[in-house]
Amino acid sequence: MSFSSPPTTSHFTERLTLHYDPALKRNRLNQIANAIAAFFAALAVVPLFLVLIYVLIQGGRLLSLQLLTQLPPAPGLEGGGIGNAIIGTIVVTLIASLIAIPVGVGGGVYLSEYAQNGWFSKFVRFGNDVLAGVPSIICGVFIYSLIVATRIFFDQSFSAMAGGIALSVLMLPTVIKTTYEGLLLVPQEMRMGAYGVGASRFVTITQITLPAAFTPIATGVVLGIARAAGETAPLIFTALFSPFWPEGLFNPIATMSVLIFNFAIMPYEAQNELAWAASFVLVIMILGANLLARWISHASRS
Amino acid sequence: MRSAPPIDAYTLRRRPPQEKLIDLGFRQLTLVMAASVGIVLLAIFFTVFGGAREAMATFGLKFLTTSAWDPVNEQYGALIAIYGTLVTSVLSLTIAVPIGLGTAIFITEDLLPSRLRDVIGLLVELLAAIPSVVLGLWAIFVMEPAIRPFLSLLHTTLGWTPFFATEPQGPGTAPAVLILVVMVLPIITAIARDALNQVPIELRQGAYGVGTTRWGAIFNVILPAAVSSIMGGVMLSLGRAMGETMAVTMIIGNSLNFSVSLLAPGNTIASMLANQFGEADGIQVSALMYAAVVLMILTFVVNVLAQWIVRRLSLRY
């Protein structure tokens, strides 16, 4: 009678080593999976580099004082600049911010500081998420029907005001959400302390709670402004476009984003060049705002 | 023995009426501001629906299944645009989800030094900040000419299938899909990265403890634990892709003729609105509003589904 161990055991003891063996099937599969993930990451970063490089080179080489201070040329002519569009973008974004930031911060304050977790606050938070998902072109259609077609403002149809209001509809959900979430992070003890020394609710919120949540709110607001500044779809048929300098808030106004759209599809070289130049200015502004937001949140953490 | 201080010293300060008024007023003010979200949402809904009523009465549900877009004879059907919206968004998501998920895994695992991973994460987030109109400009002048030989190759080799049956000639559905991929990639990557970072470290340690490999842990433990947030993010990106206007408008060709081919010019609801709404009048405005209603319902369903997935499918661990 011979005693034989099962063949698997000898195989098992052979393999019983803690050394990493790259030839193992599982380790080879892991290497392949690592490579695929790295490839995908490279694939995701490449378009960013390409877009940035083209915008910086194509747009940057046109940068001049004339570009920033002159009006766009008539179709077919050379030269000119995008001065009116730069001012227009600032004006329209400013209108949007002046509406969306107070309303959004107020709404966020109500949700976080006053609302019981009842149907109203659930409805508002749900509605906020839905509003954030409404396509920007629908915002344009909405403001067109509400303000432009009805000529509410002094019988003017297309206006900078209408464009700014359309952008504020887009900004509002971002501001509410960041305010609400920022205020939730403020420790309850701070509010208790304020009440304890006799502060009223209003004083507590404006002097204690909101300043404590300044960083997350400011970060979100800056990102919201940056996003609004680059939006085009809500402006095409609200703010429209104008080849002239801005003529007040109740007239059509040029913006960089609409200028890029209009000039990109024109068959003129000079206009296409200006579209690249406007992209350069817009991208620099928006990336600057993003880095500013990042810096705000970073500076307070360290 | 000291006598007790007069009782007045202990009474609380009475709040002056104006302080109460400020308190109450502030509360009501913020209440109105919070309610403004609902008001704006309902206003959007009723405005767009109201504008679409005329076209709804005239064309009925046939609007969704016919492809005539004929302002001269006042016949309108949105099939091309609805088909284009669904095809571009779904195709772009099919391409972007694996890439975005792979990128998210790559920058949450310790395959690279953390400094480098942060840089990749930052770059992807900055890509999300680039305005879509700039991406559209880039797509017209750089991407489309660059990929045209490749699309021609697709046509010559796969031209026998209806999807590649036409010669690529500039703007078309395929370039629009690719630029949408570039647009939704950062969203998917950012959400997937957050979801993967939220998975408790104990789950990973447990998986390694029982002897699995890195990718065994990723596929069997970490991804299943994060699947609800990732799915929610995918649905959100789908909504974003459906509603995306500028980049798509600039590169899709805005055709009014139906074609199954991805290499031919197409159209989406959003790009149709961007192109025609400003100059439309009469029943064409109403027809465009009807198309806007369809787009709104599509994105609404997708967004609500996204929220539902995140809430319902989240694993309890």
Q: What is the pLDDT of residue A3?
A: 46
Q: How far is CA B73 from CA A70, A139, B57, B274, in A?
A: 45, 29, 17, 22
Mean pLDDT over each residue of chain A, to the nearest integer = 83
Question: What does the pLDDT read at residue A5?
Answer: 44
CB pairs under 8 A between A and B: 269
> What distances in angstroms separate CA A186 from CA A7, A216, B23, B83, one per listed residue?
65, 11, 20, 47
- pLDDT digits 0-9 by tens, A234-260: 888 888 887 777 777 778 888 888 888
Answer yes or no: is pLDDT of B4 > 70.
no
Mutate: best of B134, B246, B309, B310, partner A, most A CBs <10 A:
B134
Nearest CB to B31 within list A110, A202, A236: A110
Specify whether the CB–CB gap between B299 and B44 falls below 8 A. no
Rounded Cα gap, residues B228 and B231, in angstroms = 5
Residue A201 to residue B299, Cβ atoms within 8 A: no
Residue of chain A nearest B249, judged by CA positions: A261
pLDDT for the residue B315: 61
- Enumerate residues 6+ apart whose C-beta is below 8 A from B18: none
Please name the member of A128, A142, A232 whose beta carbon is closest to the beta carbon of B47.
Answer: A142
Mean pLDDT of A61-75: 77
DSSP state of B1: -
Instruction: State the pLDDT at residue B301.
Output: 92
A47–B contact, CB cutoff 8 A: yes
| Chain A residues closer than 8 Å to B214 by CB | 30, 33-34
> Using the beta-carbon criterion (under 8 Å), do A135 and B243 form an inter-chain contact?
yes
Interface of A with B in 273-292 (CB under 8 A): 275-276, 279, 282-283, 286-287, 290
What per-residue confidence (pLDDT) applies to A2? 44
Q: Please check the confidence at residue B259 and state whether its pLDDT lies above 60.
A: yes
Which ipTM score applies to this complex? 0.85
Is B34 in Cβ contact with A176 (below 8 Å)? Answer: yes
In angstroms, the separation between the Cα of residue A50 and the nearest Cα of chain B is: 9
**Nearest CA distance, A92 vs chain B (angstrom):** 16
Q: Under a CB-based contact definition with an 8 Å cutoff, are residues B130 and B186 in contact?
A: no
Least confident of A68-77, A125-134, B258-267: A68-77
Residue in chain B closest to A145 (alpha carbons) equals B47
The answer to which of A7-21, A131-145, B281-295 has the lowest mean pLDDT is A7-21
Q: Do B33 and A257 touch (CB under 8 A)?
A: no
Beta bridge partners of residue A51, listed in sequence order:
none
Give me the residue from B98, B131, B215 closest to A40, CB to CB: B98
pLDDT surpassing 70 at residue A209: yes
Contacts of A35 in chain B (CB under 8 A): none
Share of chain B above pLDDT 90, in %: 17
Chain B: nearest CA to A6, how far in angstroms? 24
**Partner residue opposite B130 with nearest CB, options A36, A51, A120:** A51
Q: Which helix (H) or strand (E) holds B129?
A: helix B114-129
Residues of A in contact with B43 (CB under 8 A): 142, 146
- CB-CB: which of A44, A133, A265 is closest to B303? A133
> Residue B9 and residue A302: Cα distance in Å, rounded?
45
Nearest CB neighbour to A230, from listed B122, B131, B240: B131
Across the interface, do A38 and B106 touch by the CB < 8 Å criterion?
Answer: yes
Closest to B124 in 3D by CA, of A220, A46, A293, A296: A46
Which A positions 180-209 lie with beta carbon below 8 A of chain B? 198, 200-202, 205
What predicted TM-score, i.e. pTM, was given to this entire model? Answer: 0.86
Test B37 with A173 for CB contact under 8 angstroms.
yes
| Pair B135, B247: CB distance under 8 Å | yes
The answer to whether the CB atoms of A290 and B126 lie below 8 A apart is yes
Q: Which residue has the higher pLDDT, A193 or B111?
A: A193
Contact between chains at A202 and B51 (C-beta distance less than 8 A): no
What's the maximum distance between 2 C-alpha atoms anywhere in chain A?
110
Distance CA A284, CA B126 (A): 11
Q: Which residues numbered 149-168 in A keep a CB inside 8 Å of some CB on B?
A: none
For A136, nearest residue in chain B (alpha carbons):
B243
Residue B218: closest CA among B195, B243, B188, B247: B195
Section B45-63 average pLDDT: 85
Alpha-carbon distance A113 to A111, whole Å?
6
Lookup: tokens for B107: 């920058």
Which of A106-120, B111-125, B165-179 ranks highest by mean pLDDT? A106-120
Note the pLDDT tens digit of each residue in B26-50: 888 999 999 999 999 999 999 998 8
A155–chain B nearest CA distance, Å: 18
Contact between B134 and A282 using a beta-carbon 8 Å cutoff: yes
Query: Is pLDDT above 60 for B157?
Result: yes
Across the interface, whether the CB atoms of B292 and A138 are under 8 A apart is answered yes
Does A50 lie at the interface with B, CB-CB under 8 angstroms? yes
Decide if pLDDT at B128 tops 80: yes
Mean pLDDT, range A85-99, rounded to an integer = 91
pLDDT at B101: 92
Give the rounded distance of the alpha carbon of A50 from its chain centre.
20
pLDDT tens digits for A33-49? 888 888 988 888 888 88
> Within 13 Å, how many C-alpha atoms sit on residue A217's CB side?
24
Nearest Cα residue to A40 out of B96, B192, B88, B126? B96
Contact between chains at B138 and A137 (C-beta distance less than 8 A): no
- Give the pLDDT band (50/70/90) at residue B91: very high
pLDDT tens by residue, A1-17: 344 444 455 555 555 56
Distance of residue A234 Cα from the nearest chain B Cα, in angstroms: 9
The confidence band for A223, taking pLDDT boundaries of 50, 70 and 90, is: confident
The encoded tokens of residue B76 equal: 């309108």
The answer to whether the Cβ–Cβ distance between A50 and B29 falls below 8 Å is no
Please give the Cα distance from B170 to B140 (Å, whole number).
8
Give residue A14's pLDDT: 59
**A-chain residues within 8 Å CB-CB of B107?**
41
Does A134 contact B44 at a Cβ distance shorter than 8 Å?
yes
Secondary structure (DSSP) of B246-285: HHHHHHH---SS----TTS----HHHHHHHHTTT--THHH
